[in-house]
Chains A and B, each alone.
Chain A
């Protein structure tokens, strides 16, 4: 464990630490473009040059390992001059498109110029003209004039996605990022190159010209796209609702988590947020009367749902009610479902597993075949000894009279296929649908309750490895929609039960007491990067 000093501050770090890493621990900013902790060291941008005593030449902080007694300076006149010189070189051919560049506001050329540049321009020559606004793949646009040739994107496609679509062609000042012959930047991780591009050379087609980044608010969340549970930030526009046609969620960005996704997310997850502000959102509660939907207040519709539920229980009995929850719901949602339907009403036909007829596949990096964020949590919360298996019921032929089906975020038409879903639904007198978006199943329901999306609520998901992670509310629930646990609470109240949870945290507190897999967990301890629970299969129940 060598001890070194950087700008007179001393620190002891593990063997093999580089100067740039040690400086980060001391909160000393060393500018960098090519260095990215998730990629190999290129050492080529030359922004991180520092002086090391007893070494005559500048050293790149990214590639210099610390040694005992090393004395590093990052702020001498010599270093400042060299770094500002490098910036000047980077900017001589830069088009200064800032007013029309999406990166403006999160651009490291802008940022470092203000911090480390501020020289008088001596560039009097014509700037080199290059390719602009080239579509290089389904998600990414390339502007080679803005490119500073840091090679991060090239190292990404070579080292992380292993898809090898782009490279730096030609040499010297003719160097340019180009697609390899016959290739386009089309892999399920392509959006990450936009994140790591320190300038506006690679921009996101999806986000292009939608919103200035300084109007965006960031909310820490978890991607609901698959059971990996990649950590993300939801970037929402709460300040300029007239931008992007009122769309609130503007983009998702990966959030570093060393245990889950490092710096990356997949494109499927990244661009999978559209449903949040989609016209298909169910924002109001309704009942079907004479084949037509009638919009009522949420409380009215919940009241109606309560009546239907009571009717079924009283007329036919517990066996006439089936609840299909969803592995897309949070642990809190699922817990309240279990508590009300299972414990209070004593129902045993509660499940979340629907045999999906169009199984997706995963890859060998992040994306998992299970496209649900909380299957593991649903197993822990909902599956118990009574052993109800929805699949058996699904394959039974009209064996008995069922009364009421309550679906949570379950588009059976999609998972089972139209014929099977219709056949199943027809067995019930009454179908309640609780969900966020309209689909072919929701329109078949008799009563529909609008639930909030993951971006509009808080709570926890448990990923496939048993890591409990927190989602936070980025935007208000749309219209009358509410988090599912609140809808179920209201329904319970309508039937005379006392449910007065203030927030997801309170639900989680009870969940942690009641569900063995969550024992000893405290909501506030989950933090921004989650906590791993012991292997559920090995927990003694």
Chain B
């Protein structure tokens, strides 16, 4: 059994109440940090650990923290991204439900490290129960003096505010989130300036994913070297892989970074359901280019998955068997992005819907010979031309699905039917 970091104490249980969390040594890392370490030392330790952001982009966390300018008299903010809306992803939810205080402890440590005295926790609107859990956790943390004024008599103050989103995927993009938090329409901001300099309310801001922050107390407890040793070089630690689809045991598994995808599917998720043949895997949430069954020996760390042209993303592993129609799957994904594009940038606003419309026709048996080339061309024009990566996220799957399963798409276009369905007959 690999070593657990985030789910260590909660593999089969929940530690919703602070008393339970305290019993397993909770808030000890915080005590050590506040009473023994300077903020810079915390940043350095996290840098050394090789922790990379778990929200999707995999940006080194310690480095992100160090971008916060030191000598400004503006307030600084930590914003926790609990918007978790990427299709195929449901790992932050597990942390919130089972170990909310681990997140709280990470929040206080992170805020201390960047010099923030105010933190906003932005949770997707649909996570209603989860918001209540967090609300309770915040209250308990205040009661026990882990939040508020003069935390653990260290002189350090921190307030945490919980904010529920209204259900837009784009409010998970960090600057769309900031706009939403400020009460505006969730339109991602043009960068530069970057949030580290001009973030929430124009002040220096760090945005971190739930899982990223929940990892931090363990790093402070056991040390950067220990954490780094769990993963592969430049990919410290473990990850929560949310496995869904045609497997026997779908669920969220915490596994070391660099573990082969094959092992995740066949060892941990129990292999293919009904012993059907594996056809394709989305390795990191719907935004990531698809992998074929031949590619599942890839090591699941940021760099190895990138090397074969996909992304580790948010760790949502979607497994599909031979019966999944790739046209239909892609159409479903395209619909999602067409629905979720914020509509600011021309290529994304128009491209996502255009892709969806063509795919709908192809799926409905009304494809035309040029459709596949058009899909590839439209998607190409959407990549690298927009304000935020949602456009790429919508376009990359289209290109990868058509490249890797072109025959299946051509069958739809020319035969006006689904060959996968015929296999099933």
Task: Tell me if chain B binds chain A.
Answer: yes
The smallest C-beta distance from B420 to any residue of chain A, in angstroms, reads 25
Distance, CA A44 to CA B361, complexed state (A) = 29
Q: Which chain A positions have C-beta within 8 A of B361?
A: 125
Cross-chain contact A90 with B350 (CB below 8 angstroms): yes
Q: Which chain A positions have C-beta within 8 A of B380?
A: 85
Cross-chain contact B385 with A58 (CB below 8 angstroms): yes
The binding surface of chain A is classed by DSSP as loop
Question: Digit string of B326-349 for contact with A (CB within 8 Å is 1, else 0)?
Answer: 000000000000111111111101
Contacts of A97-149 to chain B: CB distance below 8 A: 122-125, 128, 148-149
The smallest C-beta distance from B327 to any residue of chain A, in angstroms, reads 17
For B386, give the chain A residue with the smallest CB separation.
Answer: A46
The smallest C-beta distance from A30 to any residue of chain B, in angstroms, reads 15
Q: Which chain A positions have C-beta within 8 A of B343?
A: 149, 168, 170-175
Question: Digit string of B366-387 for contact with A (CB within 8 Å is 1, else 0)?
Answer: 0010100010011011001111
Cross-chain contact A82 with B385 (CB below 8 angstroms): yes
The smallest C-beta distance from B276 to any residue of chain A, in angstroms, reads 35
Q: Which chain B positions have C-beta within 8 A of A13?
A: none
For B354, give the chain A residue with the smallest CB separation.
Answer: A92
Cross-chain contact B385 with A173 (CB below 8 angstroms): no
Q: Which chain A positions have C-beta within 8 A of B192?
A: 63
Cross-chain contact B381 with A60 (CB below 8 angstroms): no
Contacts of A30-74 to chain B: CB distance below 8 A: 41-47, 49, 57-58, 60, 63
Q: A41-B190, A46-B347, A125-B358 are in contact. Are A85 and B385 (CB under 8 A)?
A: yes
Cross-chain contact B353 with A172 (CB below 8 angstroms): yes
Cross-chain contact B345 with A44 (CB below 8 angstroms): yes
B66 within 8 Å of A by Cβ? no
Distance, CA A167 to CA B184, complexed state (A) = 12
Distance, CA A1 to CA B346, complexed state (A) = 33
For A93, give the chain B residue with the smallest CB separation.
Answer: B350
Q: A92-B350, A122-B370, A172-B352 are in contact. Are A82 and B341 (CB under 8 A)?
A: no
Q: Which chain A positions have C-beta within 8 A of B385?
A: 46, 49, 58, 82, 85-86
The smallest C-beta distance from B343 to any residue of chain A, in angstroms, reads 4
Distance, CA A123 to CA B377, complexed state (A) = 12
A333 within 8 Å of B by Cβ? no
Q: Which chain B positions have C-beta within 8 A of A148?
A: 346
Q: Which chain A positions have C-beta within 8 A of B230?
A: none
The smallest C-beta distance from B166 to any residue of chain A, in angstroms, reads 12
Q: A57-B384, A88-B381, A90-B346 are in contact. Are A63 and B190 (CB under 8 A)?
A: yes
A209 within 8 Å of B by Cβ? no
Q: Which chain A positions have C-beta within 8 A of B350?
A: 89-90, 92-93, 173
Cross-chain contact B341 with A45 (CB below 8 angstroms): no
Q: A125-B357, A173-B341 are in contact. Are A43 and B190 (CB under 8 A)?
A: yes
Q: Which chain B positions have C-beta within 8 A of A124?
A: 358, 368, 374
Q: Which chain A positions have C-beta within 8 A of B190?
A: 41-44, 60, 63
B131 within 8 Å of A by Cβ? no
Question: Digit string of B219-262 for contact with A (CB within 8 Å is 1, else 0)?
Answer: 00000000000000000000000000000000000000000000
Contacts of A131-186 to chain B: CB distance below 8 A: 148-149, 151, 167-168, 170-175
The smallest C-beta distance from B233 to any residue of chain A, in angstroms, reads 24
Among B342, B350, B368, B374, chain A packs the most CB atoms within 10 A around the CB of: B350
Distance, CA A60 to CA B170, complexed state (A) = 21
Cross-chain contact A172 with B381 (CB below 8 angstroms): no
For A123, give the chain B residue with the smallest CB separation.
Answer: B354
Distance, CA A158 to CA B347, complexed state (A) = 25
Q: B345 touches which one: A46, A81, A122 (CB < 8 A)?
A: A46
Distance, CA A44 to CA B386, complexed state (A) = 7
Closest 5 CB pairs of A and B: A85-B381, A175-B343, A173-B353, A89-B350, A172-B341
Interface residues, chain A, with chain B CB atoms under 8 Å away: 41-47, 49, 57-58, 60, 63, 81-82, 85-86, 88-90, 92-93, 122-125, 128, 148-149, 151, 167-168, 170-175
What would 17 A/B residue contacts be, using CB atoms closer than 8 Å? A42-B344, A46-B386, A47-B346, A58-B384, A81-B381, A85-B380, A85-B385, A86-B346, A89-B351, A90-B350, A122-B370, A123-B354, A125-B361, A148-B346, A149-B349, A172-B341, A173-B341
Give 10 new A-B contacts, CB below 8 A, not counting A149-B344, A175-B349.
A41-B190, A46-B347, A89-B351, A89-B381, A149-B346, A151-B344, A168-B185, A171-B343, A172-B353, A174-B343
